[in-house]
Structure 1
Amino acid sequence: MERSALYEQLGIRLDMAVEAHEILRQERNADVPGVRIIDGKHEHATVTTVIVESAEGEQAMGKPRGTYITIDAPEIRVNNREIHQKIAAVVASELSRLARLGPQDNVLVVGLGNWHATPDALGPKVVDMTLVTRHLHKYAPEELQGGLRSVSAFAPGVLGLTGIETAEMIKGVVDRTQPSLVIAIDALATRSVERIATSIQLADTGIHPGSGVGNKRSGINRESMGVPVIAMGIPTVVHAGVIAHEAIAALLQEFQTSPTLYKLYKGINPDALQSIIQGVLGPEGQELIMTPKEIDQLIQNTSRIVAAGIGQALHPGIDTSGWTQYLQ
């Protein structure tokens, strides 16, 4: 069974556009119509831009038309502040390119997720480290140095904690503060363990909170908010069904290298993979997601990098080496 079909049957949605494209291209052994790829290279990161340009591309990818930028930086896991600053500069550059803000535009930063669950706490953590200045523009304009843009931020929590749809809360703040742009940060689900806390995705299509782990929430996008929405996310979890499938796929790949085992490989019913995986996981395991034991430190590192990238992109007048002095 093809990965895309198996994931659909298991109810797994790929948050990462670059992963969805990789799977489709492997299955088709050809480029995906209506989708364009641009690759870039930096000292400590590689950047892959997936541009969904047509309705055909939307249908194939399962994602709305728009631009999806993935920054892969394995050294995020290395405890090196200098390298993290350079990765943050890449984030700032890509965010600036995607946002295209004018000098007077104001921005609302929204940290999605549950601050009581570490793998889902990326958004609130980023908000804690975000340089907010909207109040200074109103109450202390004399403190505005270095061309600080008007930025506000909040973390609305999740439906289970507040009883209010996240999109409703954000819409209320948007209507009240009238931002030119909303930046929504959320934790993502990935199909690759290697991508956990090492990849950063930016998209100008908005976001559907919780979709990667099977929760269907109201969308936070231009249509629902009335202003452009850029989604930023970092993978923090992998679905257990994905890990099980990748292990079986690796085993079958080994079968193909042995003439004796190849006959056995050819006799395997692809549809049986789903039954095997579902049988191993059991009823409760269908919603099981996995995260590393060091997720606390990883969330701390990644939230600092994302907040630094946002700060440098939104306040370009501040020197990149000194902007942290403005943090609370």
Structure 2
Amino acid sequence: MTAHGLIRTDLALEAREALLKEARREVAGIETSGRTTAHTRVTRVKVTSEAGARRLGKPPGTYITIEAPELRQGSRVVASEVAEVLTAELGALAGLPEKAGILVIGLGNWNATPDALGPRVVDSVMVTRHLFEYAPQELKGGLRSVAALAPGVLGLTGIETEEIVKGVVQHIRPDLVVAIDALAARSLERVCTTVQLSDSGIHPGSGVGNKRLGLTAESLGTRVIAVGVPTVVHATTLASDALDLMLGTLSRADGGGAKLAEAFTPAERQKLVRELLPDHWEDLFITPKEIDALIADTARVLASGLNAALHPRVTAAEGERYLQ
């Protein structure tokens, strides 16, 4: 998780926005490009140096963010488009040969709805490794060998996620691990409307401040692509936003209000929020009241896109029909 002042986020895009606001210019070692479709905006943030990684608070690598503000409205058209964009971006990022083997890991706690995205996606992934073990060659056309696992969390199993995944990787030796996880965002508008892909690995639980062992190419000995969707925001970010709105209103007022607003520097605003908020707010995260439905819908979108990206002859539409 990245922290710029009170900015707490797992999204490289939000970390870059905060860094630009702070530095007021582009930062060396961080490259950005983007494109748009009818209902999505795709932004690619590439961290190319250790200096850029330190400034951004993210390891070197490529971070692709797919934003679709209308996704939370339940539109099937938007959901299908997001799945298609995810298929294209994940396919390009992975660059897999046709006979590659993939292990999909659904991170998170299936007993806690905001953290259940990974296990929900795994439930709908087209697993085919058993077919490659026993089926004749003519039945394998257009499919890759895909296995899937939801290892749970340390509090449920007593075993670090990295230890479980590493044991499975050493046994089945996949060419790629795709790790699905719930993230924390800076902006409430990005909750369940944004998908982030990254080739730098992932640290389970980092979004809510838990220090867990990471799933990376170095720790697992194979390539790792992380796919995440923010499902929560930190309470302090909302309090900070409320203070900014109040000071913005005062700055437009006549007389003493404008002077009061001008007196608060960014550092003083952060200090005020920390002083006003109770200590236990450090562990408080907020999620929408309809998170049950949002997790179900988001899991379907991710599974549809993954099924098409991982299997050469499966389209996003066919991947979605598999779920029905």
The answer to whether the aligner puts 1:284 opposite 2:283 as a matched pair is: no
Aligned to 1:167: 162
The answer to whether the aligner puts 1:136 opposite 2:135 as a matched pair is: no
Aligned to 1:302: 298
The answer to whether the aligner puts 1:89 opposite 2:84 as a matched pair is: yes
Gaps of 5+ in 2: none
Alignment partner of 1:157: what SS?
A: coil
Aligned to 1:57: 52
Aligned to 2:150: 155
1:312 to 282, 304, 308: 308
Q: Residue type matched to 1:94 in 2? A: E
Alignment partner of 2:156: what SS?
A: helix
Contact 2:166 2:220 (8 Å CA) reproduced: yes
> How far off its partner does 1:239 sit?
0.2
Distance 2:197 2:4 in 1: 26
Distance 1:4 1:257 in 2: 29
Distance 1:212 1:321 in 2: 31
The answer to whether the aligner puts 1:31 opposite 2:30 as a matched pair is: no
Contact 2:4 2:18 (8 Å CA) reproduced: no
Distance 1:153 1:269 in 2: 49
Contact 1:191 1:239 (8 Å CA) reproduced: yes
Aligned to 1:185: 180
Contact 1:4 1:23 (8 Å CA) reproduced: no
Q: Residue type matched to 2:67 in 1? A: D
Distance 1:148 1:221 in 2: 25
The answer to whether the aligner puts 1:221 opposite 2:221 as a matched pair is: no
Distance 2:64 2:315 in 1: 25
Aligned length: 322
In the TM superposition, what whole-angstrom CA distance separates every residue of 1:206-228 from its partner, at most 9, and x where no partner exists? 00111121100001100101001
> How far off its partner does 1:272 sit?
4.5
Alignment partner of 1:185: what SS?
A: strand
Distance 2:266 2:76 in 1: 46
- What percentage of aligned pairs have identical amino acids? 50
- TM, length-normalised to structure 1: 0.93
Distance 1:17 1:34 in 2: 14
Contact 1:136 1:143 (8 Å CA) reproduced: no
> How far off its partner does 1:76 sit?
1.4
Aligned to 2:121: 126
Assess, with a 3 A threshold, how the Cα gap between structure 1 residues 269 and 80 changes in structure 2: closer, same or farther: closer
Distance 2:265 2:88 in 1: 48
Q: Residue type matched to 1:300 in 2? A: A
State the superposition RMSD in angstroms.
1.9
Gaps of 5+ in 1: none
Assess, with a 3 A threshold, how the Cα gap between structure 1 residues 323 and 266 changes in structure 2: closer, same or farther: closer
- TM, length-normalised to structure 2: 0.94
